[in-house]
Amino acid sequence: MIAMYGVLVAVVAATRIGHAGVPAILVAHLAIPALVWLIVHAQASPLVRIIRGIYPIVLLVGLYGAIDVLNGFGAATTWDRPIQGIEQAIFGMQPSRDWWRASPSAFWSAILHAAYLSYYVVVPAPLILFLVRHRSDLVERYLDGLLATYLACYLCYLFMPVSGPYYQFARPSGEFVANLPARMVYRVLGSGSAFGAAFPSSHVAAMVAAVIGALHGSRRAALVLAVPTALMLVAVVYCQMHYVVDSASGLLVGIVVAGFVTRQQKGDST
């Protein structure tokens, strides 16, 4: 899966070779299939098994950073206008820009910004649960579903970059963001986010994938994780991080991609 992604992105990089930093991205992505082959065919040992489990997740960090380079650090033409047109036609306004302004709430701002931060707890939660229970089969199934979900989002960012309302509109200010969760969110966003990575929302998609992955091992855990995930669907719009289309498409990607991968693996194991 990740080897195929590396080859595909290398092809994309070859078409954008004139952009700064792209030659290095091209070489790095061409090396991914070789890296995968070496890891898969390495002699089995406890260390190798650990590397096989975690290397795709480690690679995701670098793959995400490459998106910014391939999109020209903000120079790529985005699809924001068409999405804004769709939302204007459906809602008669721009929900990501106008909702919080029409109904500002310090309470809901704190709750929903906290829900945004819950991403960093929800996504690793099933992995930790399965590791504690020594369910290596569920760990592998969960990581494959999560990886496929992220890669599907990354491909969208390369072929249909959308900067999102966070960059398109004047950002929330005043009492609306005068709370600790909001300040923490903006600190995280300020530490670096790839340009054009708004559609679909990978935060929503990954959290949905986490719920689906947890469901195969613990329905109780899945129900618990579903609460912040549902809040996230609303939070990314109300807090002006994503368009409604981004949030809805993230939900769809999480359900379709993660659901398909985990069901396929479950079928293969029976």
Cα 201 off chain centre by: 6
Domain boundary among 46, 76, 106: 76
CB 172 within 8 A of CB 239: yes
CA distance 121 to 205: 14
| 47-76 pLDDT, tens digit each | 777 777 778 888 888 899 899 899 988 888
Same domain flag for 110 and 49:
no
What does pLDDT average to over the chain?
91
Q: Structurally, how many domains does the chain consist of?
A: 2
Region 122-133: mean pLDDT is 93
Same domain flag for 110 and 8:
no
HSE-up of 7 (CA within 13 Å, CB side)? 6
Evaluate if residue 151 carries a pLDDT over 60. Answer: yes
Q: How many CB atoms lie within 10 A of CB 132?
A: 8
39 vs 150, which has greater pLDDT?
A: 150
Same domain flag for 120 and 238:
yes
Evaluate if residue 164 carries a pLDDT over 60. Answer: yes
Region 113-129: mean pLDDT is 96
Can you give the pLDDT at residue 228?
97
Supply the range of the domain harboring residue 241: 78-269
CA distance 154 to 197: 7
Cα angle 16, 18, 23 (rounded to 5 degrees) comes to 80
Instruction: Determine phi and psi for 239, rounding to 5 degrees.
Output: -90, 10
Token pair, residue 51, equals 């590397």
Can you give the pLDDT at residue 270?
54
Give the ranges where 16-133 is alpha helix by DSSP (H).
Answer: 22-41, 46-70, 80-91, 95-102, 106-117, 119-122, 125-132
Region 246-261: mean pLDDT is 94
Same domain flag for 69 and 89:
no
Least confident among 22-31, 37-46, 56-65, 225-234: 37-46
Evaluate if residue 140 carries a pLDDT over 90. Answer: no
Can you give the pLDDT at residue 105?
95
Same domain flag for 115 and 246:
yes
